[in-house]
Structure 1
Amino acid sequence: MVSFRNIKKTLDSNYQLAYLRWYTGHNVWDTTLWRGVWSQKLPTDMWNYQEIITARNVTLVIECGARQGGSTLFFHDILSALGRDFRILSIDVEDQWDNKVNSDRIRKLACSDVSQQAVTAMKEEINKTKGSVFVLLDSNHSEEHVHEQLKIITPLLRTDDYMVVEDTIKEETMNGMMKFMNKSDYYTYDAARESKFGMTMARDGFWIRK
């Protein structure tokens, strides 16, 4: 007997792949802006992130990989609109932040997100925050780097903190993430949240700290 559920799953996967090919092939990802600042984020992911931040009482965002800081500004604006006492730790290997990314609530670090400088800053900000933490990993997508990021950030997070690993559409990113997840039991996979808008650059990458 034909499984219509399996057919739908296959069709959904094909539609998603076709859209992502269009999105990247037409360079839309490279011209996506927030307040005129380059973000390089999928709009459905950004909408999902603001829902997570709102629902989970997030007061600290740790962003690994920022480029010009369009997403940094986005998180700042969402948290400001929510009226929360918040902080954003934005880390990138280069100081490329746009001049608009300037607030006493934003801490910018130009260094590797697996360096001791970054780890120290993460610990400081997590220890100070009273709400939940939202972590976004979107920097070096090599298998080794992603695995190292997870080894470093996991012991710092508390129960119910949230993490998204982006660009798992790349094989090396997915391999680095699953290499860690398959050998540990620190997270719960949030399939419902990931699938809500039908399209994501973080396939299998939405995780809640246990």
Structure 2
Amino acid sequence: MASDIDTKDTTEEMRTAAHRFMAASVEPKYSYNFSWLGRPIIQYPQDIVAMQELIWRTQPDLIIETGIAHGGSLVFSASMLELNAICGGNADASVLGIDIDIRDHNRVEIEKHPLYRRITMIEGSSIDPVIIEQVRAAARGKKSVLICLDSNHTHDHVLAELDAYADLTTVSSYCVVFDTFIEDVPAGSYPDRPWDKGANPKTAVHEWLKAHPEFEIDTSIDDRLLISVAPHGFLKRVR
């Protein structure tokens, strides 16, 4: 029997509800509710699932992540690479994390994790030329590279990270820019941070893409997730 539900109206209703949830989730720090294999991940569950799909689809030899915090995302990426390897993927695939300040207690917990053998960490600014060269050296010769930018969320910093690392993304893989949703929530939602509506990862993405037609926003991911910190942030390299 055909449904009498108007799919378009339902979709718009879902988008509105999702936007309201995202705006309401900022102040209580909803993303801090979750962990992955024992480490706080500071991500929304929907984005975790989306990243699992991308890691399986692209089968990266290397995942580069800016921003480490407690290490949950590094452990997540390492665990996905482990599963890829079990299923016939690259047994030596690894994840490289960069952070300007790796706290001692976080480093200890990450280094004693069973999946640490797939993880390398570099301490320093992700836009420092010395650090950039170390990361680029690690990516040389890799057949498939996936990038995740999730450190300082100011417009200028994200733009600099895109300039530094996005071209390492291999064709058909992704450069994922997190926290683009800052542009979509009310101004002043981050009173203690140097980013806000009008100057954030999404504004950086839109500016950067003007000169980089080799990348496209994969809006199909946004359309499926609805609840995500990275709308317009899933950048697919198409050539």
Is the TM-score greater than 0.5? yes
Is the CA contact (8 Å cut-off) linking 1:164 and 1:205 kept in structure 2? yes
Q: Deviations over 1:41-71 (max 9, x none)?
A: 1111011101111111112110011101011
TM-score by length of 2: 0.79
Structure 1 partner of 2:80: 78
Partner secondary structure for residue 140 of structure 2:
helix
> Does the alignment pair 1:180 with 2:193?
no
Candidates 18, 23, 26, aligned match of 1:24: 26
What is the rounded CA distance, in whole Å, between the counterparts of 1:44 and 1:154 in structure 2? 23
Query: Structure 1-normalised TM-score?
Result: 0.89
Instruction: Note if contact 2:98-2:125 (Cα within 8 Å) is conserved in structure 1.
Output: yes
Q: 1:187–1:207: 8 Å Cα contact kept in structure 2? A: yes
SS in 1 for 2:127: coil
1:87 maps to 94
Task: For 1:27 and 1:149, locate their aligned partners in 2 and report how far apart those are by CA, in whole Å.
Answer: 25
Give the C-alpha shift of residue 154 in structure 1.
Answer: 2.8
Change (3 A) 1:134 1:157: closer
- What residue identity is the alignment partner of 1:145? H
Superposed CA RMSD in Å reads 1.9
Q: Which amino acid aligns with 1:89?
A: L
Gaps of 5+ in 1: none
Worse-matched range after superposition: 156-165 or 83-92: 156-165
1:199 to 216, 227, 232: 227
How far residue 123 of structure 1 moved from its aligned partner, in angstroms, is 1.4
Residues 159-178 of structure 1: pairs in structure 2 closer than 5 A: 159-171=171-183, 172-178=200-206
Q: CA deviation at 1:98?
A: 4.3
Tell me, what secondary structure is at the counterpart of 2:117? coil
Gaps of 5+ in 2: 1-5, 184-199
Give, in angstroms, the shift of residue 117 of structure 1: 2.6
Within 5 Å, give how 1:124-163 maps onto structure 2: 124-130=137-143, 132-163=144-175
Bigger Rg over Cα? 2
Residue of 106, 112, 123 corresponding to 2:125: 112
How far apart, CA to CA, are the structure 1 residues paired with 2:138 and 2:223?
A: 30
Q: CA deviation at 1:188?
A: 2.0
> Structure 1: how far apart are the matches of 2:171 and 2:31?
33
1:99 pairs with 2:108: yes
Does structure 2 conserve the Cα–Cα contact (< 8 Å) formed by 1:92 and 1:109?
yes
Q: Is the 2:180–2:230 contact (alpha carbons within 8 Å) kept by the matching residues of 1?
A: yes
Question: Is residue 37–residue 98 contact of structure 1 (8 Å, CA) maintained in 2?
Answer: no
* Contact 2:68-2:99 within 8 A present in 1 as well: yes
